[in-house]
């Protein structure tokens, strides 16, 4: 088995160059990498070498990678790509430079009550989105939450496996959405009190939370209810936690201190300056102004009605396979409008170009006519589905705009039962939206 550092310098799928290992967790290592195609830095996450013999873990890692590529939320670190290199799965993600909650706590920093409430609201919104997508984070701890300027928070690795075979861990992967809420309560407690991980776990298990005087009572209750969510006593959903956080912020924590009497500005200075008095119009001046306005309105209406009648006809230009920007210019030259009515994936037309139009090119129409066009989003690329369950593969295909085609069952050595072993067309092929992708699925777990 390769040693950890052996992968530094490798280029995965002739695209992602692993430059520097920046983190090692309980189950994965993370590299700072360079995307040669897009010419930007990314992060690449790979399971640790000693875990590659665990087929279930690797299958779960691949499934989680595919699920994560469907998630689109500003509070989630985006998974950009996924693949397999020398039988080792990997996930390509945004490269994040901000500090994690773990790093901030290690530096001795704590959250103030107002900041903690904003953090609770941000996290509740993120969890509400995840749970709405049918995904639980499952391992929401200090290492997976990043703090951004402007009281923003983002999370990484939703749904990724973190433990093996049900081994004991403070954060085992769980499908219970209420576990995420309890984990958020733990993060809030640590962030507000500055207690170490061991102290916080001991306090929570013992049922005796140690609060400072600066933490309002209702905020303490919010944290307690969050911690009790997994047992069914606390919040039943992220939306309920969010509502309580908003209510607490509005009622319990002062958003701005009241100015002390000596700091209030004098009444004389606060009074608005009197408005400049406008001269009063005489009656005949008012009537004259009204008559002029009425005449102008009549002239405008007559001009508006006569314009289409007097306008000459023009020939509609052929805009198919023309960029939308150029199509707008061509239409404007002939005093025509252009409206993009829809966008579709099309393997034969470049992204941003016109697929079809109505009216068609060559037709004579009156000026000011609006040409309705269908814009191309370019081709769709068949995703890497190898290792996914049939159901997960179907969900990925549908989320990417494909249809599930024929499913062919074969016995293939080295794959678990009901896992995808091949796609037709193969991974990386370019298709149009709505095209079908056939799957070859392992019939029996001959190697699992």
- How far, in whole angstroms, is CA 26 from its chain's centroid? 26
Taking 70 as the threshold, does the pLDDT of residue 263 lie above it? no
> Domain 381-442 is in which class?
alpha beta
Distance from CA of residue 15 to its chain's centroid? 24
Instruction: Work out whether the CA dihedral 429, 433, 435, 438 comes out positive or negative.
Output: positive
- Predicted pLDDT at 103: 93
Residue 249: predicted pLDDT? 87
pLDDT at 38: 86
Question: Tens digits of per-residue pLDDT, 371-407?
Answer: 999 999 888 888 888 888 888 888 888 877 889 999 9
Q: How far apart are CA 74 and CA 345, in angstroms?
A: 24
Question: Distance between CA 359 and CA 85 in Å, rounded?
Answer: 50
Mean pLDDT of 166-181: 61
Residue 100: DSSP 8-state: B
The answer to whether 66 and 388 are in contact (CB under 8 A) is yes
Contact 101, 109 (CB under 8 A): no
CB 47 within 8 A of CB 82: no
Phi, psi of 232 (to 5 degrees): 90, 0
* Cα gap 214→192, rounded to integer Å: 9
Kindly report each contact of residues 25-34 with a partner whose C-beta sits within 8 Å and lies 24 or more positions away, as own/partner. 25/143, 25/162, 26/162, 26/163, 26/169, 27/51, 27/57, 27/161, 27/162, 27/163, 27/164, 28/160, 29/4, 31/7, 32/95, 33/92
Per-residue exposure over 24-47, b if at least 16 CB sit within 10 Å of its own CB, e if not? eeebbbbbbbbbeeeeeebbbbbb
Give counts: helices (H), strands (E), the chain: 11, 18
Indicate the pLDDT class of residue 239, thresholds 50, 70 and 90: very high
CB of 91 within 8 A of CB of 98?
Answer: no
In this prediction, residue 254 carries a pLDDT of: 54
Q: Is CATH 3.50.50.60 correct for 313-376?
A: no
Q: Residue 204 to residues 187, 228, 238, 242: CA-CA distances in angstroms?
A: 12, 10, 20, 22
Would you place residue 105 in the very low, low, confident or very high pLDDT band (cuts 50, 70, 90)? Answer: very high
Q: How confident is the model at residue 295 (pLDDT cuts 50, 70, 90)?
A: confident
Q: Where in the chain is the domain with CATH 3.30.10.20?
A: 313-376, 381-442
What is the per-residue pLDDT for 265? Answer: 34
The whole-angstrom separation of Cα 387 and Cα 75 is 28
Angle subtended by helix axes 390-399 and 55-69, to nearest 10 = 20
Give the whole-angstrom CA distance, residue 28 versus residue 193.
30
- The pLDDT, as a whole number, for residue 276 is 41
The tokens describing 80, both together, are 């950009």
**CATH for 101-163+174-251, options being 3.20.20.70, 3.10.450.350, 1.10.510.10, 3.30.530.20:** 1.10.510.10
Q: What is the pLDDT of residue 167?
A: 36
- Which whole number is the average pLDDT over 435-447? 79
Structure confidence at residue 260 as a pLDDT band (50, 70, 90): very low
At residue 57, φ and ψ (nearest 5 deg) are: -65, -45
Confidence grade of residue 347 (pLDDT, cut at 50, 70, 90): confident
pLDDT reported for residue 303: 56
Mean predicted confidence (pLDDT) in 410-417: 82
CA distances to 186, 267, 337, 341, 416 from 365, rounded to whole Å, are 67, 67, 12, 19, 62
* pLDDT of 43 strictly over 70: yes
In sequence order, what DSSP letters do the residues of 288-302 get, joined into one string? HHHHHHHHHHHHHHH
Per-residue pLDDT at 378 = 87
Residue 173 has a pLDDT of 52
The per-residue pLDDT for 375 is 92
CA distance 396 to 42: 23
Delimiting residues of CATH 3.30.200.20 domain(s) in the chain = 4-93
Q: Which of 375, 417, 427 is nearest to 396 (CA)?
A: 427
Q: What is the structure's pLDDT at 302? A: 62
| Residue 304: pLDDT over 60 | no
Query: In terms of pLDDT, which residue wins out, 295 or 381?
Result: 381
CATH number for region 4-93: 3.30.200.20
* Mean pLDDT calculated for residue range 43-65: 87
Average pLDDT over residues 411-430: 85
Angle at 124 between CA 138 and CA 76, to 5 degrees: 65
Task: Please provide the average confidence, as pLDDT, over all residues in the chain.
Answer: 83
**How does pLDDT run across 127-160, given as a tens digit for each residue?**
999 999 888 888 888 999 999 988 899 999 998 8
| pLDDT at 344 (0 to 100) | 87
Categorize the per-residue pLDDT at 281 as very low, low, confident or very high, splitting at 50, 70 and 90: low
């Amino acid at each position: 088995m390769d040693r950890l550092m052996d992968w530094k310098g490798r280029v995965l799928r002739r695209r992602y160059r692993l430059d520097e290992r920046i983190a090692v967790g309980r189950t994965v290592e993370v590299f700072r990498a360079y995307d040669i195609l897009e010419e930007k830095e990314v992060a690449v996450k790979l399971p640790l070498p000693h875990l590659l013999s665990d087929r279930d873990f690797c299958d779960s890692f691949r499934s989680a990678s595919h699920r994560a590529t469907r998630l689109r939320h500003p509070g989630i670190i985006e998974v950009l790509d996924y693949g397999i290199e020398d039988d080792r799965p990997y996930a390509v993600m945004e490269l994040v430079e901000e500090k994690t909650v773990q790093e901030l706590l290690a530096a001795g920093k704590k959250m103030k009550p107002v900041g903690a409430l904003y953090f609770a609201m941000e996290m509740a919104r993120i969890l509400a989105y995840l749970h709405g997508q049918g995904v639980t984070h499952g391992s929401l701890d200090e290492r997976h939450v990043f703090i951004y300027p402007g009281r923003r928070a983002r999370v990484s690795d939703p749904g990724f496996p973190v433990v093996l075979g049900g081994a004991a861990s403070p954060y085992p992967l769980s499908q219970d959405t209420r576990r995420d809420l309890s984990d958020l309560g733990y993060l809030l407690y640590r962030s507000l009190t500055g207690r170490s991980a061991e102290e916080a776990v001991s306090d929570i298990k013992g049922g005796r939370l140690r609060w400072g005087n600066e933490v309002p009572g209702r905020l303490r209750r919010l944290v307690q209810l969050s911690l009790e969510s997994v047992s069914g006593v606390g919040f039943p959903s992220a939306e309920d936690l969010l509502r309580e956080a908003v209510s607490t912020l509005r009622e319990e924590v002062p958003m701005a201190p009241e100015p002390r009497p000596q700091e209030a500005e004098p009444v004389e200075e606060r009074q608005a300056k009197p408005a400049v008095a406008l001269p009063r119009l005489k009656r005949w001046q008012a009537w004259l102004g009204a008559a002029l306005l009425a005449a102008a309105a009549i002239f405008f209406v007559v001009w508006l009605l006569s314009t289409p009648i007097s306008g000459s006809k023009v020939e509609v230009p052929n805009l198919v396979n023309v960029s939308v920007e150029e199509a707008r210019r061509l239409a404007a030259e002939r005093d025509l409008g252009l409206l993009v009515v829809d966008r579709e994936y099309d393997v034969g037309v470049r992204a941003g170009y016109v697929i079809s139009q109505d009216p068609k090119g060559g037709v004579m129409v009156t000026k000011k006519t609006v040409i309705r066009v269908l814009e191309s989003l370019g081709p769709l690329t068949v995703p890497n589905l190898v290792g996914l369950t049939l159901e997960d593969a179907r969900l990925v295909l549908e989320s990417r705009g494909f249809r599930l085609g024929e499913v062919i069952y074969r016995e293939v050595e080295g794959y678990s039962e009901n896992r995808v072993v091949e796609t037709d067309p193969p991974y990386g092929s370019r298709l149009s939206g709505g095209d079908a992708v056939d799957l070859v699925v392992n019939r029996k777990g001959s190697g699992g």
